[in-house]
Structure 1
């Protein structure tokens, strides 16, 4: 279980593209002591970029004896090919899913989106619930300051302030994850609210998340998942996307219309509602997303 690594910086506009492009075009520079200059950021920000590339699964870590290096992953190559500047909303939903379904890295992110069940809270409550959870499972406990920095970074990444803060348009400090509409920060009370209503989520993202939880082998005709698990099981769409039951049902109706029942459908089976998904691999779901968006 790993904590920290982000150097207190949420993802910023352009960071992931810059890191991916450097690894693609000049992979040898990642070991350069002046790599921060190549990325156009400070040294701690460069460390943060490598961290976010890893936890968003855009890169793989390859071990070579006592050392390791980063290489662009299959998901990273798919995004570089289809949306290199990360302009599509669907790309950011996929990156969010990559973080929220982590089990070893970005532990606080995985806990928040899959287990934290409080819809309105302040930072202190969030931190106390996290500490209690780690104590319950007997996990290696990092310092409280480390956990506090993780919670703060998560909230800064996702929570859009209400009312909006006056910002310099030249200052690109805001994280693109805020645009997903998963959380708001009520500045007057200092509290945060998880938004569980309908969101602008491409239907392919449902299949993408399911494929991350249970990667397809290509041997079965369909994947069947009970709707109750889709809604509430860890690392499933309902949890990862912060959706209520009604919001999930509405979005699935739209998804079935958009994708076609041969790819995704909801049916009654054995007295319960079941989602049937074609077992594409994660990159195949992304390719379908980009093809559909480019044809519109």
Structure 2
């Protein structure tokens, strides 16, 4: 795994950026800070050079576009999942109007073991629930060497990335005159991922992220994440079963990425068993909880998302 604590130019993910990225590439554009490409992107997208870099960063990090080399030149293409969500004509939710799409983007953003960022560290490796920002920065600095190959990461670079991560995800609270917390109006949020409520800004540099139920997480998105995790694990150890504990606590798992409590994961697995007519099954034998997924379901992970978006129409 490589460290990637730069690239966003401190801009959090914003509404419309992923759609703009895909639309630009579909119109033969290239998201680049070089020469004519950046002039073209600035003109067509109506943003500055730094924002072009940020749009490229978030689109790649959310796995909706990918970079490849063709004829010794850098090319960008829309990924299958990127087209599935954001295609201008046939995309399921190009403007991210549905909460299920936000959960899906959150999963895609953090389901990555190639590049480590502060948000991927938090959602895959950190056990913090109530934390102070400066301590969290120190935690990453202390642990990054055991996770990545780079040894020249500066603390100031980590700090900027943590600031961007928290701006992307956190909701802020204000104290009323009666010292009760109340939420700022949703128009305040610059990032769609803050709507998920995964991190709450308590003020004075303190944050909270509970392991909890996720009532707005659609079962179909959970199943998609579970299948992705199962396929990832199977590719490494050829196992046909996976433990409940791994789904709850292992890096890249739905339990980790969605910040689920043990009971919340159990409830979602029960729903998944019923929803898939036992294509997903789990048993508790002598205290060992194990989950299996049928080969049919493993090969059609997008079908359940089709059911979700079809039901929303």
Q: Give the TM bin, normalised by the shorter chain.
A: 0.7 to 0.9
Match of 2:260 in 1: 243
Query: Structure 1 residue 226 and structure 2 residue 281: aligned?
Result: no
- Which residue in the other structure is 2:222 paired with? 206
Larger mean CA deviation between 80-89 and 52-61 belongs to 80-89
Listed as ranges, the gaps of 5+ residues in structure 1 are none
Q: Which residue of 1 aligns with 2:163?
A: 152
Rounded Cα–Cα distance in structure 1 between residues aligned with 2:72 and 2:82: 25
Q: Which residue is 1:74 aligned to? A: 80
Query: Which runs of 5 or more structure 2 residues have no equivalent in the other structure?
Result: 175-181
State the alpha-carbon separation in 1 of the partners of residues 171 and 299 from structure 2.
29
The answer for the alignment partner of 2:11 in structure 1 is 9
Structure 1 contact 60–72 (Cα < 8 Å) conserved: yes
Superposed displacement of residue 240, structure 1: 0.8
Deviations along 1:176-195, one digit per CA (max 9) or x if unpaired, are: 101112110102x4310012
For the 8 Å contact 2:279–2:297, the answer to whether it is kept is no
Structure 2 residue aligned with 1:131: 141
Q: Quick one: structure 1 residues 268 and 137, their matched pair in 2 at CA, closer, same or farther if it must change by over 3 Å?
A: closer
Question: Aligned residue for 1:45?
Answer: 51
Normalising by structure 2, we get a TM-score of 0.82
The 2-side partners of 1:137 and 1:106 are apart by 8
Matches within 5 A, 1:249-264: 249-257=266-274, 259-264=275-280
Q: In structure 2, how many angstroms separate the alpha carbons of the residues matched to 1:63 and 1:274?
A: 42
Change (3 A) 1:14 1:106: farther
1:108 and 2:118 aligned? yes
C-alpha change, 1:5 and 1:249, in structure 2 (3 Å) is same
Aligned to 2:14, what secondary structure does the other structure show? coil
Cα contact 1:207–1:277 (8 A) shared by 2: no
Note the aligned Cα RMSD (angstroms): 2.7
Greater shift after overlay, 259-268 or 122-131?
259-268
Q: Counterpart in 1 of 2:281?
A: 265
Q: Identify if the C-alpha distance between structure 1 residues 239 and 36 changes in structure 2 by more than 3 Å, giving closer, same or farther.
A: same
- After TM superposition, give the deviation of residue 47 of structure 1 in Å: 0.7
Q: Give TM-score, length-normalised by structure 1.
A: 0.87
Deviation readout 1:156-188 (Å, 9 max, x if unpaired): 11111012676795x7x611101112110102x
C-alpha deviation, 1:94, in angstroms: 1.7
Structure 1 counterpart SS, 2:231: coil
Q: 1:46 to 1:162 in 2, by over 3 A?
A: same
1:27 aligns with 2:28: yes
**2:283, 2:184 → 1: CA distance?**
48
Give the drift of 1:264.
2.3
Deviations 1:87-120 (A, max 9, x none): 2222221221122121223432221111111111
On the 8 A contact 1:230/1:238 being kept in 2, the answer is yes
Q: Name the CA distance, whole Å, in 1 between partners of 2:157 and 2:224.
A: 31
